[in-house]
Amino acid sequence: MTDLIRTGEAARLLGCSRQHVVDLCDEGKLPVVRQGGSHRYVRRSDVLALTGRSLTRDQEQSRWLHGAIVGHLVTEPDLVLTRARGNLDRFSKVHTGTMAEHWLDLWRLALDSGLDHVLTVLVSDSPQATELRQNSPFTGILSEDERRTVLDSFREHWRTEHAL
Amino acid sequence: MTREQFAHVLRVVSRIADDPDVLVIGSQSILGSYSEDELPLEATGSMEVDTTFLSDPEDAKSGLVDAMIGELSSFHNEFGYYPQGVSIGTGIFRQAGRIASSYTRRRALSPAGGYAWSRTTASWPSSSDSTRRIRTSPSRSSGKV
């Protein structure tokens, strides 16, 4: 499953009117995932696909942070995976009965699929990998200094290469 | 994410940024008005809350939030959820004056009472006075940051 948003939020992401989003839905160009009362829900990833943007700034920043995790994973795979599994157990208790629990379950499947698959999820720009990273169990691996260095590097990268 | 976790994140974000007005963007903002028990599963979103500020020159506050308690931070590690500092300059608010179909403007805990104020509105600047006062249960959040 993916993050569902209402047509109003989709309109903001697209920079258009809500009515135009409704028209896109009616024309089948933007799939309506669920309809409740007077509200329609669409996938954020479908909306972003229409904008031609692959990742938002926060999604890209998340990918950079997880790129730094990759460095640790390939040098100390057992340590990193053991920590991630421990975090999955802890976080699952925190998020019982919410959507985050669903993403944590998917992480568990990813970890069970082997190291190569985990490496792919950590840096892939697919919608599912993007959602997974925003519900990450890879905490306690980067030091605070390392993490802030990545954030500083990313900020400079975004300023120079993605300036509006 | 639950409403209690949501309130915890906003209190810490407010304290770090030294700003009582925290703007929550996106689907999690609905937790400012409803508890997770009143919402469908999809509305409980993820372990992340997108936050920003009405006044944030150079995105300094959002950057500080990311650096201190953002994704993969020790805060995230300890609690299992975190805020994402969103830059207002990244295009979220392209339609100046009409920025949000749903957002939560929330004062962090008052010094005396352990209450928070949540406001949702159809546009910005605010066109609605649908302010709600909600209790954030100080006893349940004791021991947290």
**Could you give the number of structural domains in chain A?**
2
Q: What is the pLDDT of residues A96-105, one digit of tens each?
A: 988 899 999 9
A143 shares a domain with A70: yes
Rounded Cα–Cα distance for residues B118 and A15 (Å): 27
Considering the domain architecture, whether residues A154 and A106 belong to the same structural domain is answered as: yes
Domain coverage including residue A27: 4-51
- Containing B134, the helix (H) or strand (E) segment is strand B131-135
Say yes or no for a CB contact (<8 Å) between A100 and B46.
Answer: yes
Q: Are residues A9 and A61 in the same domain?
A: no
B1 → closest Cβ in A1, A62, A100: A100
Q: Which has the minimum average pLDDT: A89-103, B1-15, B22-36? A: B22-36
Mean predicted lDDT score pLDDT of chain B: 68
Residues of chain A neighbouring B46 (CB-CB closer than 8 A): 3, 99-100, 103, 131, 134-135
Same domain assignment for residues A153 and A138 = yes
Q: Looking at residue B123, what DSSP letter applies?
A: S
pLDDT-derived band at A163 (thresholds 50, 70, 90) equals low
- Assess contact for B55 and B20: CB atoms under 8 A: no
Are A107 and A135 in contact by the 8 Å Cβ rule? The answer is yes
Nearest-Cα distance to chain A for B44, in Å, is: 6
Domain match, A18 and A67 both = no
ipTM: 0.70
Model confidence at A2, in pLDDT bands (50, 70, 90)?
A: low
Rounded distance between C-alpha atoms, residue A121 and residue A27, angstroms? 33
Same domain assignment for residues A70 and A148: yes
Cβ atoms of B28 and B62 closer than 8 Å: no
A97, A44: one domain: no
Q: Which is higher by pLDDT, A36 or A77?
A: A77
Same domain, A107 and A124: yes
* A109, A95: one domain: yes
Distance from CA of A158 to the nearest CA of B (A): 10
pLDDT tens, position by position, B40-90? 777 777 899 999 888 888 889 999 999 999 999 999 999 999 999 987 654
* The Cα angle at residue B15 between residues B14 and B19, in degrees rounded to 5: 50
Chain B interface residues facing chain A, Cβ-Cβ under 8 Å? 1-2, 5, 26-27, 36, 40-42, 44-48, 50, 63, 66-67, 70-74, 76-77, 79-81, 84, 86-87, 89-92, 94-95, 99-102
| Residue B99 to residue A144: CA distance in whole angstroms | 34
Look at residue B98 and tell me whether its pLDDT is greater than 60. Answer: no
pLDDT, residue B113, reads 33
Mean pLDDT of A105-124: 96
The listed range with the strongest mean pLDDT (A80-94, B48-62, B100-114) is A80-94
User: What is the Cα–Cα distance from B59 to B45, expressed in whole angstroms?
Assistant: 25
* Cβ-Cβ contacts under 8 Å, A163 against chain B: none
Burial class (CB in 10 A: 0-12, 13-18, 19+), A95: buried
Looking at the structure, tell me whether residues A16 and A67 fall in a common domain: no
Query: Taking 70 as the threshold, does the pLDDT of residue B127 lie above it?
Result: no
Note whether A69 and A103 are same-domain residues: yes
**What would the mean pLDDT of A63-86 be, rounded to a whole number?**
97
Q: Is the pLDDT of residue A17 over 70?
A: yes
In this structure, the answer to whether residues A40 and A12 fall within a common structural domain is yes
Structure tokens of B83? 């805020």
- How many angstroms separate the Cα of A3 from the Cα of each of A6, B82, B83, B133? 10, 17, 17, 28
Confidence at residue A9, expressed as pLDDT on a 0 to 100 scale: 84
- Position with higher pLDDT, A130 vs B119: A130
